[in-house]
Amino acid sequence: DSVSRSEPTDANGTDDLAYPTPHLQNTRKIALITGITGQDGSYLTEFLLDKGYEVHGLIRRSSNFNTQRINHIYIDPHNAHKARMKLHYADLSDASSLRRWVDTILPDEVYNLAAQSHVAVSFEIPDYTADVVATGALRLLEAVRSHISATGRSHIKYYQAGSSEMFGSTPPPQSESSPFHPRSPYAASKCAAHWYTVNYREAYGIFACNGILFNHESPRRGENFVTRKITRAVGRIKIGLQSKLFLGNLHASRDWGFAGDYVEAMWMMLQQEQPGDYVVATEESHTVEEFLVAAFGYVGLNWKDHVVIDKRYFRPAEVDNLKGDASKAKKVLGWKPKVGFEQLVRMMIDEDVELAKREKVLVDAGYMDAQQQP
Ligand code: NDP
Ligand code: GDR
């Protein structure tokens, strides 16, 4: 290839993350993932590595390493010949970094998973949320478009992580043809990213897909999303490290699936002959209260003995009821979820009880404060 190799971008040379990308002269497919350190990024990376891909992840600079979810698959680049996952510094707010890595990595598939992904937090930092979620997607699309224009690599495919939050107050069941009515800065920004993606497909013929994914959870879910907040608390309450759990609105309904199942749908979208937009959902909906019943009940506890309603967790505008209609994904992609609601709850509780046991060891040894809440 004609692209020259870059030097490590780290100024003092001690960094082992932002490493040059020695292009393997092989036939492996190359994927570029933004948001690789997040829940979905970690599952998608495992999935693509299993399929034989070389995976490049863009990570952002933070004062602490935030690669916990992918440490188990990370190979030090000093053994670079063995490493099929590589990490590079970039940021969705920095167009030049996106363009540089697209040009250097020469991906076959680009997955845009990066986002300020917390709905409630988007009311606190709306401007930043729009910059990363909406304009960030536009920057990445533009990097792909100009890369194709400069190199002729028109086979490159783009996946945009869209969300059921875009439907907002539109009543269920929500499908690809349901109208968007976003209820938060996050959701409005995802709508913009959705339409940027459609526009780049129509205007430039880019193979660009929107996955409209309903909530998907896992033991790797961020700890301030409601499912994981609940399962973390259940683990800690069961082991005696915590007694109360403070929550907001328990009446909202969500269509909760397993993240490991959903990343497969992302990949499937990019393997089709034609680009398109797909709803990915379990088609089953439960309230937050029903999640509480299942989670506490699984370890023999009554949620009512522990949950305290705290006004601070209510949102200025709520999304009341999400339940997807995934018939297009089932028919066209042949996708269907493998993990059901009860199994998902049990999987998350099992892991969080084990985590709480490990925390207890640290508490008993005096290394950790029992009051420290996740
Ligand atoms: P997470 O919050 O777990 O991960 C978000 C990722 O984005 C992290 O890797 C984060 O990096 C990265 N990121 C945040 N800001 C920036 C930035 N400015 N530049 C570069 N990277 C950034 O989200 P999920 O894995 O749960 O979700 C993946 C995507 O799917 C998101 O876009 C989300 O909005 C969307 N989505 C998620 C659903 C779900 O139920 N999980 C449902 C529908 C859509 P860091 O680790 O440094 O914070
Ligand atoms: P959501 O997920 O907003 O659907 O967005 P979240 O788990 O944050 O909220 C789900 C519902 O639970 C209610 N809730 C609480 N939520 C949180 N976080 N904390 C609480 O204490 C609490 N108490 C009640 C909420 O009001 C809400 O109704 C997720 C994210 O992953 C998005 O990025 C993604 O796009 C959508 O799912 C689909």
Q: How far is the CA of 49 from the centre of ligand 1 (A)?
A: 20
- For residue 50, which of 16, 84, 1 has the smallest C-alpha distance? 84
Q: Which of 129, 169, 215 to mutate to test the pocket of ligand 2 (most atoms within 8 A of CB)?
A: 215
* ipTM surpasses 0.95: yes
Of the listed ranges 76-85, 148-157, 237-246, 250-259, the least confidently predicted one is: 76-85
CA distance 174 to 180: 9
Give the pLDDT confidence score for residue 26 in this predicted structure.
Answer: 62
Mean pLDDT across the stretch 216-224?
Answer: 98
Q: Cα dist. 299→227, 235, 257, 295, 353 in Å? A: 15, 9, 21, 7, 9
Q: What is the pLDDT of residues 283-327, one digit of tens each?
A: 999 999 999 999 999 999 999 999 999 999 999 999 999 999 999
Give the pLDDT confidence score for residue 371 in this predicted structure.
Answer: 73
Q: What is the pLDDT of residues 109-122, one digit of tens each?
A: 999 999 999 999 99
Which helix (H) or strand (E) segment holds residue 268: the answer is helix 259-270
Ligand 2 atom, smallest distance to 222 CA: 31
- pLDDT band per the 50, 70, 90 thresholds, residue 372: low
Q: Which of 54, 109, 165, 359 is catalytic?
A: 165
Q: What is the pLDDT of residues 263-289, one digit of tens each?
A: 999 999 999 999 999 999 999 999 999
Please determine, for residue 8, whether its predicted confidence score (pLDDT) is greater than 90. no
Q: How far is the CA of 326 from the centre of ligand 1 (A)?
A: 22
Ligand 2 atom, smallest distance to 319 CA: 28
Q: Which of 97, 117, 122, 163 is catalytic?
A: 163
For 162-194, give one letter per residue: b (16+ CB within 10 A) or e.
bbbbbbbebebbbbbebebebbbbbbbbbbbbb
Q: What is the pLDDT of residues 30-55, one digit of tens each?
A: 999 999 999 999 999 999 999 999 99
- Among this protein's residues, is 124 annotated catalytic? no
Q: Which of 58, 74, 113 to mutate to test the pocket of ligand 1 (most atoms within 8 A of CB)?
A: 113
- pLDDT band per the 50, 70, 90 thresholds, residue 2: very low
Q: Which amino acid is at 215?
A: N
CA distance 83 to 97: 22
Give the pLDDT confidence score for residue 246 in this predicted structure.
Answer: 97
Share of the chain above pLDDT 70, in %: 92
Please determine, for residue 155, whether its predicted confidence score (pLDDT) is greater than 80. yes
Q: What is the pLDDT of residues 349-371, one digit of tens each?
A: 999 999 999 999 999 999 988 77
Residue closest via CA to ligand 2's atom 2 equals: 225
Residue closest via CA to ligand 1's atom 28 equals: 113
190 within 8 A of 133, measured Cβ to Cβ: yes
In Å, the largest CA–CA distance within the chain is: 65
Q: How far is the CA of 67 from the centre of ligand 2 (A)?
A: 23
213 within 8 A of 113, measured Cβ to Cβ: no
Residue 102 tokens read as 């697209």
